[in-house]
Amino acid sequence: MQDHIEKIVQDVYENGYAVVENFISEDFRKELLAEQQDLLEHGQFRHAGVGKGDAFTIRPEIRSDKVLWMDHLVLTPLQNQYWNLVEEIRVALNQRCFLGLRSFEAHFAMYPPGSFYLRHLDQFQQVKYRVVTVIIYLNDSWTEEDEGKLRMYLPQEDGEEKILDIMPSGGKLVVFLSAEIPHEVLPTNKQRISITGWLRDIEYS
Ligand SMILES: O=C(O)CCC(=O)C(=O)O
Ligand SMILES: [Fe+2]
């Protein structure tokens, strides 16, 4: 794990993002997936929206995933185990990159077949406190035909953008600067499952 954390902070420091295959063990991934599927079957998921507070709206033309927010005060043992891993990333990023990260928020996400999330930034007017995006994919298997890639638009020094497409393969962790890397979820052909979270520069309220 220490090697993974070291690579993440190094890559975020140098490039603004990091991708780590097999960040979690297969056993742990399967347990997290089973827990999420159980919550899904019990109708706990809601259509995701855009905007915060009064500006919150459900906009299926922009994003069509379903989400279930986790409550940091009542995490299940498995969720807690994942948060502890993210805590290691938070501490290391603060030491190395001085990002002043103070808390974490996260939701399970499920993209049904045909769903997507158009290009956006995770930090915007209402959520300036989101500094680093942390995503873990929980899918059992993923192939090119399943589509549903995460497309990142990496800003280049010459003002151009470089496109980087990432398959949401199970166990893979993606970390990036929320205010700097526009990204989208391309339409998926298969149910696509993940935990998406944000390290924030505010305390829990
Ligand atoms: O699941 C992904 O690959 C990205 C999700 C995303 O961009 C978001 O929830 O803000
Ligand atoms: Fe996003």
ipTM of the complex: 0.99
Question: Ligand 1 in contact with 185 (CB < 6 A)?
Answer: yes
23 touches 33 (CB < 8 A): no
**pLDDT score recorded for residue 150:** 98
pLDDT tens track for 23-75: 999 999 999 999 999 998 888 888 988 888 888 888 888 898 999 999 999 99
C-alpha 120 – ligand 2 centre gap (Å): 6
How many angstroms separate the alpha carbon of residue 181 from the centre of ligand 2? 9
Q: Where are the domains of the chain?
A: 2-196
Asked if 142 contacts 167 with a C-beta cutoff of 8 angstroms, the reply is yes
> Quick check: CB of 115 below 6 Å from ligand 1?
no
CB 109 within 8 A of CB 65: yes
d(CA 10, CA 95): 11
Contact 191, 113 (CB under 8 A): yes
The alpha-carbon radius of gyration of the chain (Å, integer) is 16
Residue whose CA lies nearest to ligand 1 atom number 7: 184
The number of the ligand 1 atom at minimal distance from the alpha carbon of 48 is 9
Distance from the CA of 158 to the center of ligand 1, in angstroms?
26
Query: What are 143's two structure tokens?
Result: 């192939």
Q: Is 63 within 8 Å of 117 (Cβ atoms)?
A: yes
Which pLDDT value is given to residue 39?
92
CB-CB contact of 175 with 18 (8 Å): yes
The two tokens of residue 22 are 């097999």
Residue closest by Cα to atom 10 of ligand 1: 122
Condensed to tens digits (0 to 9), the pLDDT of residues 131-150 reads 999 999 999 999 999 999 99
Sign (positive/negative) of CA torsion 111, 25, 39, 174? negative
Q: Dihedral through CA 81, CA 83, CA 89, CA 94, nearest 10?
A: -140
- By residue count, the chain amounts to 205
| CATH code matching the domain that covers 2-196, chosen among 3.40.50.2300, 2.60.120.620, 2.40.50.180, 3.40.50.970 | 2.60.120.620
